[in-house]
Structure 1
Amino acid sequence: MAASKVVAHIDLSQQRMYVSVNGKRKYAWKVSTARRGYRTPIGTYSPKRMYRRYFSKKYHGSPMPNSIFFHGGYAVHGTTAIKNLGRPASHGCVRLHPSNARKLYSLVRSVGMRNARIKITR
């Protein structure tokens, strides 16, 4: 699987993430992105760093399990606020159900960050 290409496409208007491996859709999950007053950056990014366990330095040590940082302090990560999935609720990160964040983290780790992309569209 080392040569596989993984794309996590986040559609802000739908508050959904579509994960594809080698061009074939494998998963579709609800997410939460930036609420009013904040923003989730649009564009296509490569993962920059990954942490199985991470705590926000900016937001009171909030847990960010299975974090995949893709642009500065922005990351895709798990959340305990699962009731908010499917609608904007974050400070800009892309929040996932913890089990889905774990799956994505493992998938990206298995193919390598060079072979993964985070694509965010409206």
Structure 2
Amino acid sequence: MAKISVTYRAPKGDDKVVEMGGHTFFDGKVEKIDSDSETFLLGKLRTNKHFEVSEKDIPKELLKTLTAPKPAVLLASEQEDGTFAIMKGADVVKAPLTKEEADAFNALSAEDKAEYVAA
């Protein structure tokens, strides 16, 4: 367990205090975040331009997890022309689908979705 230093930098004209994830952050003051129990919060704060997260305190394995690119999610959605398609990020994987097929696809688990697309 490591304590990670996080500093809030309030935007000009905004509140000098913000609460997030059970912590109260004061503008310019360091708040310590537990790397084991608050991994999700650390991930959110690292991508928020108003927070500085000291990466030197983050264990190497956790840093790999926080910086790893997230895989694109498979999701069936309605297209501009009214048809449905399975999308992986911004890419069309399979089209066209009916609304019923799209709803059935979205109800599948991530593993089943991947299997369906691979077939």
**TM-score, normalization by structure 2:** 0.27
Report 1 or 2 for greater relative contact order, CA contacts < 8 Å, sequence distance ≥ 6. Answer: 1
Point out the structure with the larger helix share. Answer: 2
**TM-score, normalization by structure 1:** 0.27
Larger Rg over CA atoms: 2
